[in-house]
Structure 1
Amino acid sequence: MNPACATMKRRASASFEDREEILSKRLKDDRRDNDGMSEDIRLRMDASQIVDELEQELQCGCCSALVYRPVIVNPCQHFFCGSCCMLWIKNGGTNCPACRGVSGSVTPSRAIQRMVDLFLRAAPHKARLERERHQADAIYTNGPMRIPLPREPSPEPAIHQNTDLARPCPHCDPGNPWGWRCPQPIPDPTTDAERAWHLDDGAPPGHGYCGNCENLLALNAPTTTKCDMCQVSFCGIGIQGRCVAAALLSQHPHNMSDIGDLITSSEVYDCFDGNTIEVEIMIDYLSAQRLSPRHIYREIVAHLQSQPRGFAPLIELELFADVHGVASGTDPDPTAPRSRICRICATEVLLWGLRDWWIRERQKGFLEEDVLRRKDCPDGWGCQKQKDLGAYASLPPWMNQEYLQNFDVVHARECEFNWFGL
């Protein structure tokens, strides 16, 4: 070995040698401190910390309180109180309340419910107040639900808003693919400016505007149909299935394709005079029987057709006046039979007859036994107990303590709202 290298080697400094002794002494001091603390105190501290951490993990993503009757949103797997999720849907929610992702379904979560049950066994003081539970149960009982998909915006009207001149309709062109030409074609303003039609003068002769896409149409074209309710014409060309007045029983009510649309429609609750309890019972019944809004609409139409005056009472109420963005024609005979209807007027018929349809449906005896056992409320039509919940539907159930104290949940769930006022 090189002597020079040997002289360069030296022992470690004293500070390094003392480090192990210092660490060893600290560990001994810590052991003595822990030995002085009772095992029971340490266990209580650990349990309290676990309870606090578990409570944080079991918080509802909407109300930030301990989840009650949890439901889980698929596929994102966020979970919420069943009542919170139901209120989200009623207020127009069209995606997961936490991540805003599109949801395929919302189902009760047994796994999370078991965790909540175990948690409450260890910390019963963390349970929701009884009033809060009753209020949540009045909003959501159990079972799956569906968050409606976001609606695609309707296409912009193709009507030329920035010009004073009318453009030819689809049937004005001699070579149009529909095989029929307007007897009074609209002059093309780009090639025949002298004979161009000014929109300030109204629709060109023999033409009108489609009640759906608002494009110009030929009134006498084979593709044109007219709604017997609102007297508005539809082109049959712009949007297939929508720009048409169909036969009464084959039409689809606008924005009412499934039960989810009934849940999110505030007009449905207006039909029941704000009676939220009765609406919830009806929705549960429709889900169990797998009845769609279109099925209800057809039964309402069939009932009206069986009446001596048919649709005349609805016409007299001007139910179909000004339901479109275009001018309607005049009704030549208000007492005439009705055979065609547009989508929007079909929705008006559905909402107008929904409550009376439900009264007739209840009399069939298909409802659950606990619902059929309900007695008529002594207040009859003036019952307010079943309406209060609707006024607070947008609030979490623990937000208004004064309301909770005054709300009789048992009365609201167990009495029958007497629609006949008897």
Structure 2
Amino acid sequence: MAATLPSMAGLGVENVETAKLDSDSPSQIEQEEMEVNLHIEGSGKRGLKRRASPSWGEGSSDSLSRKRLKDEHVGQEESTDSSASGLTDTMNRRTLIDDLAQELECGCCAALVYNPVTIIPCQHSFCGSCCVLWIKNGGTSCPSCRGLSTSVIPSRALQSMVNVLLRADPSRIRTPSERAQADEIYRPGQSLRIPPPREPSPEPTLPRNTDYAQPCPHCIPGNPFGWSCPSPIPDPETNQDQGWLLEDGAPPGHGFCGHCENLVALRAPSTSRCDFCQVSFCGIGIPERCYASSLRSQHLNGFSDLGDLIQAADTYECFEGNAVEVDILFDYLTEHRVTPKQIYQEIVQHIQNTPEQFTPLFDQELFTDIHGVAGGIDPNPTAPRQKICRWCATEVFLWGIRDWWIRERRKGRVSTAILDKPDCTSGKSCRNQKDPDHARECTLPSLVPWMTLY
């Protein structure tokens, strides 16, 4: 090998490489490159790099395509994740709305609370109108837990939550008719008082011997009422021979109370008699109801306020089933805050100013068989009527409310459209009063023509 070095050195490096390139073919060059590459890979040296292959340009395009596909796949996955996330958010929002609506559900009507109120002290909440109706129907406790309650206050916090819920889901709002009906019963922001539990009505004194009359409260010597019967009823338990058989009617000087139906001393200071049904009331059994009061100061039975009037089927019967006219009446009474008792007092005053006064009512036998006991004989049918019971007062009210409304409309306190409605030409015999279209065109005239002349 030492002998060959000089000869190669004499040729020069440049000449040797040129001569080698000229003599070798391209296939030999590629073969040598492959051997060098294999030698490099096998040697494990890290600092050496192979030259780029002639097809590097094509390989770079494939790499870009694969990168682009990868980026598109990642983008599709992100889009899918975004859609799934949006669907999840929608489902969570709907679940939240449903849960909130369930929490804001009225325990009485099972719908979303309207004008919510809260019972004190149990903190249960209801619609204001539902709570009013509960109290009017005799409720003296919370409708939900039946716990002892004292008052009802409007709930601003719940109303705010209801407003938020309705903005998120307007489909849950009450219908206009429901809201209008509820507004007639309860005014928003109004506090209510729950009455204390009523004491149970005393049970009537049932005779141990049902064939004989038992002594009345005034028949007992030394009774706490300050008055004793001049002819006391014998006690059949101690003196059956002198007992009074009930099949013979009431004992002398006695009758039966029109409310509690116990025996009553007719001449006792606490006893009162209705000048219309001629039934006596003891004033002892239930003092608030067992009495006949003066004509204009008496309370109505079952019509303490406008809510009772709205719920009563008798109101619609007074207008021959004309629901359109009744709704107009209710709107008027609500707007002007007119109570049933005020209407009754004006009806009584109007009747007393007429020539016939209460005669038409007696002719229709309105005050017959009202109570469970029989009334006495009217001692003077032409005498002025001064005392009346709650039941007869209600009969007067129902008899005169339609004519009162006709007179009230003619005062001009209603809209022109209502004021200009003509009377139905068929009068009381009209069979189309229940037809809403006919009822909107005309109104039912007075039952008694002379009632509207005074």
Using the size of structure 1 for normalisation, the TM-score is 0.69
Query: Any residues of structure 2 matched to 1:275-294 within 5 Å, and which?
Result: 275-294=322-341
Residue equivalent to 1:7: none
Distance 1:231 1:93, change over 3 A: closer
- Is 1:190 equivalent to 2:240 in the alignment? no
Match of 1:246 among 264, 271, 293: 293
Distance 1:373 1:224, change over 3 A: closer
Amino acid at match of 1:366: R
**Deviation string for 1:239-262 (max 9, x for gaps)?**
223222111012111222222322
Residue equivalent to 1:118: 167
Match of 1:45 among 88, 91, 109: 88
Residue equivalent to 1:236: 283
Give, in angstroms, the shift of residue 182 of structure 1.
2.3
Give, in angstroms, the shift of residue 354 of structure 1.
1.6
Residue equivalent to 1:341: 388
Deviates more, 1:143-152 or 1:332-341: 143-152
Residue equivalent to 1:71: 115
Amino acid at match of 1:194: D
What is the total number of aligned residue pairs between the two structures? 354
Distance 1:183 1:86, change over 3 A: closer
- Is 1:211 equivalent to 2:258 in the alignment? yes
The structure showing larger relative contact order (alpha-carbon pairs under 8 Å, at least 6 residues apart) is 1
Q: How far apart are the structure 1 equivalents of 2:116 and 2:401?
A: 31
Query: Any residues of structure 2 matched to 1:48-59 within 5 Å, and which?
Result: 48-58=91-101
Distance 1:331 1:295, change over 3 A: same
Give, in angstroms, the shift of residue 272 of structure 1.
2.7
Q: Percent identity?
A: 45
Deviates more, 1:248-257 or 1:332-341: 332-341
Q: How far apart are the structure 2 equivalents of 1:374 and 1:116?
A: 44
Higher Cα radius of gyration: 2
Structure 2: gaps spanning 5 or more residues: 1-73, 447-454
> Are the aligned partners of 2:320 and 2:433 in contact in 1 as well (CA < 8 Å)?
no
Match of 2:434 among 372, 384, 388: 384
**What is the root-mean-square deviation in Å for CA atoms of aligned residues?**
4.1
Q: How far apart are the structure 1 equivalents of 2:367 and 2:197?
A: 24
Distance 1:100 1:377, change over 3 A: farther
Q: How far apart are the structure 1 equivalents of 2:131 and 2:390?
A: 28
Using the size of structure 2 for normalisation, the TM-score is 0.64
For the residue of structure 2 that corresponds to 1:295, the secondary structure is: helix
> Are the aligned partners of 1:225 and 1:236 in contact in 2 as well (CA < 8 Å)?
yes
> Are the aligned partners of 2:321 and 2:433 in contact in 1 as well (CA < 8 Å)?
no
Residue equivalent to 1:420: 445
Q: How far apart are the structure 2 equivalents of 1:173 and 1:97?
A: 44
> Are the aligned partners of 2:274 and 2:387 in contact in 1 as well (CA < 8 Å)?
yes
**Deviation string for 1:197-249 (max 9, x for gaps)?**
12222211121111122111122223322111111111223222322211101
Residue equivalent to 1:389: none
Distance 1:272 1:215, change over 3 A: same
Residue equivalent to 1:363: 410
Amino acid at match of 1:268: T
Residue equivalent to 1:181: 228
Query: Any residues of structure 2 matched to 1:89-100 within 5 Å, and which?
Result: 94=139
**Deviation string for 1:85-113 (max 9, x for gaps)?**
59977996958776667773778975245
